[in-house]
Amino acid sequence: MPVPKHTLTESEVSRVVEMAWEDRTPFEVIEATFGLSEPETIKLMRREMKASSFRLWRKRVTGRVTKHRKLRGFDVGRGYCPTQYKR
């Protein structure tokens, strides 16, 4: 088993979980940002979530085109909804 590049803080773990739940955030972005591959992200999600929530998440992301850059039909997509950060 590979040794993690660094230990994630509580806030970083929270952000990884949030990014993993987002439909438009591919696993490659999580890897580029936090150094976690897709299998490592799945392990983190399994560890951090209740079993039922993890199963729901896995069902949701399995086969989802937007979670993998190679499967996406577009090169650049929005990082978030235009109304997400309105004040």
Domain locations in the chain? Answer: 10-71
Structure tokens at 15: 């952000």
- Provide the pLDDT for residue 26: 87
Give the count of alpha carbons within 13 A of 75, CB side only. 0
Q: Is 81 left (phi over 0), alpha (psi -120 to 50) or beta?
A: beta
The amino acid at residue 36 is L
- Provide the pLDDT for residue 57: 93
Nearest-angstrom CA–CA distance, 71 and 87: 34
The whole-model pTM stands at 0.70
- Provide the pLDDT for residue 62: 85
State which residues of the chain have pLDDT below 70: 1-6, 66-87
- Provide the pLDDT for residue 61: 86
Digit-coded pLDDT (tens) for 10-32: 999 999 999 999 888 888 889 99
Structural contact between residues 43 and 1, judged by C-beta atoms closer than 8 angstroms? no
Dihedral sign for Cα atoms in the order 25, 28, 34, 36: positive
